[in-house]
């Protein structure tokens, strides 16, 4: 059955799998909704996207995605409010960042309407897949990869842009124990760390596995030159509260310009908290842990929103963070998720009704 | 038709495409031989490889290759000598490096027999695809990528290892003009530069495009911290001849341990040339270009073997290299290709008869 939604052609599945899904016990990014948005780049341009049944992709073995890592992605969430409205959070920022990543990875930039109208059409078709349960959401994964062929290390001439969605529960269970990295790193000066490039994540897996073997869940990334500056927490930005000041590293070509991070900065400032965007060293954090002025650390990203850190390891020493009654992490997480799910006013204009 | 070669199951195509191929005008990595080796990792182990008809691969949209760049590859060549013997060059070194890359990218390591016996069976089946023309070869592309599913930035639980081959001509036409990079970089300390990880190549495309727009063909990579140390030439190692000394950077976690590079070092030493493996700065090279002591620069890698550099750009200045009668590049390239193609003795034991 072909229909049009927001000018986007929709080909509906005749076999929904929604009845197989246990919406009360959702993992993260594990089951996929009935449809996906599909859009191809060939003959020098992006062709109109379509909503199609979620299903397998067929590629030539010489497709460049398999060889040269030409792939980028985004991560977003959709919520449903009490009235059944579908809500997104700052979706245009994801679109813009996708194109920033595209440029750095020599992938042709995508037209805004293909992204926004395509996404909206997809969400309308799969609206029943958006979980209503507290703490759950429909995780949205836009991604682009090289389908063009050839064993030649040069940009592909064909690409595929897809959006797939997954009803999801929490990303992490509980508080994190993290390891401050002294040897490995996730990005180079002049590299692709600021882009959501597939290759950045594969490179993190092995160091993270080593950290997991030592009893931690995530790595805190430091700069690749001195390992003295704190940059990110796994695939999240990082915030550190010393006394009553909330500190986060400035973005750079090594650090992703996280939408959660910048929302937290704005929100915290509006709430009268003291926020400083500045480079922060491992030595400062260790000293603050030792003298008791280190109050909180947390990761910030779309998947986990805010993920409190319970303690960290550094050079064979373990440091625990205090258990506070009222945390900035808890306060900010509630404020952001309330805005996201339409439980309060949105003075910033971040909420986006589909 | 199912048969067994070297204990490897072979499923032959009934539609060869070899008659469509113009073996007198081969590009590089553009047409693909009739068969490929296919080997899957699931349930915690690699399963026996098979030779199967070259054909499309079907993957779920949530396969981790599309999202997290978990992919590695190798590049090798097969030749045929006058007697019809199939010859490889140091294939065990490619196998070992594949597993070094696998480990860094959190991909399960591959058993040696699956790689070596599988490769030999594939080459026997597609033996007619090995070009006999001077300067041509069968380019061999072993690669592994994550097929396991899920929107969770963690290693996949399933992988595919394939070997595909492509009868190929020269990688570059003529001498290269290169640009010494001052801003972008290909790898970080503690990163994945020493691995043949897909993501390393996608990250090079954009800076290379910028260089191409300025009239160069390749970028000379420098260290990401100071951009003062010369590291690689595009996807090749680099050699610089100052007076009669051949210099190449030591390998590190940022630089690929090239098989051509190490063969050149050994060969040049055996031929009595003065070879130094040491860090070399851009300033040294520029000074040598100015005082006339810079004699040659060349890239070294499997695809191009040795690729002479005609000139380089640095900070808006262009430098030309002299046109010498007898070059180290020409001499070493002939020695290596003669060994590869069985036109001379092989005192090093590098040649490998299939
Ligand atoms: C490396 C990295 N840092 C930070 C973030 C957080 O960005 P955002 O808040 O836009 O999700 C992400 C993505 O989630 C990431 O992959
Ligand atoms: C980054 C890089 N450097 C150097 C080389 C040369 O290595 P090899 O001589 O083993 O082909 C390659 C691969 O060809 C490469 O990708």
Q: Given the structure tokens 């001439």, which residue do they identify? A: A157
State the span(s) of chain B assigned CATH 3.30.470.10.
2-168
CA distance B298 to B275: 14
Q: ipTM of this complex > 0.90?
A: yes
Which candidate from B188, B201, B234 shows the least CB-CB separation from A224?
Answer: B188
Q: Which ligand is nearest to the CA of A75?
A: 1
As a three-state string, the secondary structure of B273-299 is CEEEECCCEHHHHHHHHHHCCEEEEEE
For residue A271, the cross-strand partners are none
What's the CA angle centered on B256, arms A210 and B73, to 5 degrees? 75
Best to test chain B binding among A99, A162, A202, A204 (most B CBs inside 10 Å): A202
CATH of region B176-339 = 3.20.10.10
Considering chain B, what percentage of its residues have pLDDT values greater than 70? 100
β-strands A50-53, A35-42: how paired? antiparallel
For A330, residues 6+ apart whose C-beta sits below 8 A from its C-beta are A308
What's the CA angle centered on B199, arms B195 and B202, to 5 degrees? 125
- CB contact burial A116-140 (16+ within 10 A = b; e otherwise): bbbbbbbbebbeebbbeeeebbbbb
CATH of region B2-168 = 3.30.470.10
Per-residue pLDDT, A321: 97
Atom 1 in ligand 2: residue holding the nearest Cα = B235
Which candidate from A54, A154, A188 shows the least CB-CB separation from B205?
Answer: A154
Residue B2 has pLDDT above 80, yes or no: no
Select from A309, A294, A289, A305 the least CA-distant residue to A339: A305
Which candidate from B145, B191, B235 shows the least CB-CB separation from A188?
Answer: B191
Q: Are B186 and B193 in contact (CB under 8 A)?
A: yes
A65 near B CB under 8 A: yes
Look up residue B183 and give its two tokens.
Answer: 């801003």
State the span(s) of chain A assigned CATH 3.20.10.10.
176-339
For residue A204, the cross-strand partners are none
SS3 B234: coil
First-to-last C-alpha distance (Å) of chain A = 23
Per-residue tens of pLDDT for chain A, all 354 residues: 578 887 899 999 999 999 999 999 999 999 999 999 999 999 999 999 999 999 999 999 999 999 999 999 999 999 999 899 999 999 999 999 999 999 999 999 999 999 999 999 999 999 999 999 888 999 999 999 999 999 999 999 999 999 999 999 987 777 899 999 999 999 999 999 999 999 999 999 999 999 999 999 999 999 999 999 999 999 999 999 999 999 999 999 999 999 999 999 999 999 999 999 999 999 999 999 999 999 999 999 999 899 999 999 999 999 999 999 999 999 999 999 999 999 999 999 999 999
Per-residue pLDDT, A295: 98
Task: Determine the residue of A77, A204, A235 to mutate for testing ligand 1's pocket, defined as the one with the most ligand atoms within 8 A of the Cβ atom.
Answer: A235
- CB contact burial A12-32 (16+ within 10 A = b; e otherwise): ebeebeeeebebeebebbbbb
**B258 ligand 2 Cβ < 6 A:** yes
Per-residue pLDDT, B1: 58
Q: Given the structure tokens 């997290």, which residue do they identify? A: B68
Residue B147 has pLDDT above 70, yes or no: yes
Q: Given the structure tokens 């429909």, which residue do they identify? A: A138
Average pLDDT, chain B: 96
Q: Which ligand is nearest to the CA of B200?
A: 2
Q: Are A230 and A282 in contact (CB under 8 A)?
A: yes
Phi, psi of A104, rounded to the nearest 5 degrees: -65, -30
CA distance B265 to B271: 10
CA distance B97 to B91: 10
Select from A133, A127, A163, A169 the least CA-distant residue to A145: A163
Per-residue pLDDT, B174: 78
Distances (CA, A) of A74 to A97, A141, B130, B135: 8, 6, 43, 44
Q: What sign results for the dihedral spanned by CA atoms B323, B327, B332, B338?
A: positive
β-strands A50-53, A76-80: how paired? unpaired
Per-residue pLDDT, A268: 98
As a three-state string, the secondary structure of A175-226 is CEEEEECCCCCCCCCCCCCCCCEHHHHHHHHHHHHHHHHCCCCEEEEECCCC
């Amino acid at each position: 059955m072909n229909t049009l939604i927001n000018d986007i052609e929709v080909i509906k599945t005749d076999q929904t799998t929604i009845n197989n899904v246990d919406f009360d016990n959702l993992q993260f990014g594990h089951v996929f909704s009935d449809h996906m948005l599909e859009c191809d780049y060939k003959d020098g341009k992006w062709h109109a996207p379509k909503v199609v049944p979620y299903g397998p992709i067929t590629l030539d073995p010489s497709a460049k995605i398999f060889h040269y890592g030409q792939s980028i992605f985004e991560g977003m969430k959709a919520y449903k409010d009490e009235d059944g409205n579908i809500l997104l959070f700052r979706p245009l920022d994801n679109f813009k960042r996708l194109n920033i990543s595209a440029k750095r990875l020599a992938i042709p930039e995508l037209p805004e309407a293909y992204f926004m109208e395509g996404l909206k059409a997809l969400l309308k078709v799969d609206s029943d897949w958006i979980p209503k349960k507290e703490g759950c959401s429909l995780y949205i994964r836009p991604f682009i990869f090289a389908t063009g062929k050839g064993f030649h290390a040069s940009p592909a001439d064909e690409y595929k842009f897809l959006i797939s969605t997954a009803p999801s529960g929490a990303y992490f269970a509980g508080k994190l124990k993290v390891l401050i990295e002294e040897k490995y790193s996730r990005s180079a000066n002049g590299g692709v760390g600021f882009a959501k490039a597939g290759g950045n994540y594969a490179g993190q897996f092995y160091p993270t596995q080593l950290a997991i073997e030592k009893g931690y869940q995530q790595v805190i990334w430091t700069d690749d030159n001195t390992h003295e500056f704190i940059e990110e927490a796994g695939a999240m930005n990082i915030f550190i509260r010393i006394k009553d000041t909330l500190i986060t590293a400035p973005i750079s070509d090594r650090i992703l310009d996280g939408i959660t991070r910048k929302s937290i900065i704005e929100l915290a400032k509006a709430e009268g908290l003291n926020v400083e965007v500045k480079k922060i060293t491992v030595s400062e954090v260790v000293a603050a842990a030792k003298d008791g002025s280190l109050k909180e650390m947390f990761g910030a990203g779309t998947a986990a929103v805010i993920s409190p850190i319970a303690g960290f390891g550094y050079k064979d020493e373990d440091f625990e963070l205090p258990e506070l009654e009222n945390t900035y992490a808890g306060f900010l997480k509630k404020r952001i998720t309330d805005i996201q799910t339409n439980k309060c006013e949105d003075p910033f204009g971040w909420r986006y009704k589909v």
